[in-house]
Amino acid sequence: MNQIKSRRHTPYTKFKAYLDETGVKQKELAYLLGKSTSALNQNLNGTGGDFSVAELRLICATFKISADEYFLRPEVSK
């Protein structure tokens, strides 16, 4: 029987959409970060731990994107 995992943080839907639009596979991103695809999927969906600061820096530098735009939660910036 499948268990539904509760969310530990808000999913990164905007970043997931970016990956889809640019054709970047989760497997490729997981390899870049040195983690399993399952662990990355949990990071993205909010069911696992959050990304580390080092991981966010690597993601943003690699894809030339802003952490504020893709990872900052609006309620935090108020």
Res 7: pLDDT: 74
Per-residue pLDDT of the chain (78 residues; tens, 9 = 90+): 556 667 788 899 999 999 999 999 999 999 999 999 999 999 999 998 899 999 999 999 999 999 999 998 665 544
Farthest-apart Cα atoms in the chain, separation: 41
Domain boundaries, the chain: 13-66
Superfamily of domain 13-66: lambda repressor-like DNA-binding domains (1.10.260.40)
Q: Long-range contacts of range 69-73, CB-CB < 8 Å, 24 or more positions apart?
A: 69/14, 70/12, 70/14, 70/15, 70/18, 71/12, 71/15, 73/10
- Identify the three-state secondary structure at position 34: coil
